[in-house]
Structure 1
Amino acid sequence: MPITGGCRCGTIRYDIALDALPLVYACHCRDCQTWSGSAFALHAMLPEAILSLDPGAHRFRLDDVEQMPSEHLGCARCMTRIANRNSAVPGMIILRAGTLDRSNEVVPAIHIWTSSAQPWVTLPDKSPAFEKTPTPAEFQVALAK
């Protein structure tokens, strides 16, 4: 049974070819705080081939304002950003975990950009945490734990 999700208004839906919820990480960088309007954003990095996104998804880029220019995918009607892709992780897509139908079941496995975390945020003692973006090898090791 695929994992499903979609935008706030229900116009754009997706399926992920997984049997269980993906591993999720929390990013505390200032960009994610601003994008989410919260203290951090929850993401899942997935092989793009396992995501089946409604072909009507709106695509846009903000090359002149992003440190790592990305193509963003979401809903033009309700402005929900569902995922993005960029050249730093070819073949992968970064899913906004809050768009999962079962988002209430996700718990971040890793915390990144903790150097920008809000001072009132308390990180779990046992979760791997990185002050900035971990290397791909560090990220994989932390996810495997």
Structure 2
Amino acid sequence: MTITGGCHCGACRYTLALGALPKAYACHCRTCQTWSGSAFSEQVLVMESAIAVTGPVVDYVFQSPSGSQSHQRMCGVCHVRLYNTNTMRAGIAVVRAGSLDRSDELDVPLHIWVKRKQPWVRLPEGAESYEEAAPPEAIVRLFSR
């Protein structure tokens, strides 16, 4: 199975070396709301080595409050964020789920920072959710589902 995605304008494309679509999670924190311009952001976690990108990728780097560096990879033409990495999570990439060609097929079993979710958002029945960040074991479960 080939898992592909890309930016809005088509200048950047990527493939994920995975056997199946990964499980996604939704983050309802204010930062993700601001970054996405929406009620929440939807992401998938993959090993950074699984991503192969073509096109004019720009790396926007910023220092997080924790002191780590966040590298936001985005299209150099339309500026759609494709994925990011963080020095606190070496080797792990957070892919913006909406940039996947088959984003409509994703399963989203995990919701985090639900204390900041918009009041009109209803979580799916049975979804795993956390008021703030998910504990490490929840992330491990996401990888193994």
TM-score (norm 1): 0.91
Range with bigger deviation, 50-59 or 115-124: 50-59
Any runs of at least 4 consecutive aligned residues in structure 1 with deviations exceeding 4 A, and if so which?
142-145
Alignment check: 8 A CA contact 1:109 1:143 kept: no
What is the CA–CA distance in structure 2 between the aligned matches of 1:141 and 1:105, rounded to whole Å? 19
Other-structure match for 2:105: 105
> Matches of residues 9-48 of structure 1 in structure 2 within 5 Å?
9-48=9-48
Other-structure match for 2:137: 137
What is the CA–CA distance in structure 1 between the aligned matches of 2:52 and 2:109, rounded to whole Å? 24
Q: Which amino acid aligns with 2:51?
A: L
Alignment check: 8 A CA contact 2:111 2:127 kept: yes
Q: CA deviation at 1:38?
A: 0.6
Greater strand fraction, Structure 1 or Structure 2: 2
What is the CA–CA distance in structure 2 between the aligned matches of 1:100 and 1:46, rounded to whole Å? 13
Other-structure match for 2:65: 67
Percent identity between the two aligned chains: 40
What is the CA–CA distance in structure 2 between the aligned matches of 1:132 and 1:140, rounded to whole Å? 17
What is the CA–CA distance in structure 2 between the aligned matches of 1:2 and 1:39, rounded to whole Å? 30
Shift in alpha-carbon separation, 1:16–1:143, aligned structure 2, 3 A: closer
TM-score (norm 2): 0.91
- For residues 96-129 of structure 1, the C-alpha deviation after alignment (integer angstroms, 9 at most, x for no partner) is 0000011111131100010110111111120100
Alignment check: 8 A CA contact 1:110 1:143 kept: no
Alignment gaps of 5+ in structure 1? none
Shift in alpha-carbon separation, 1:143–1:120, aligned structure 2, 3 A: farther
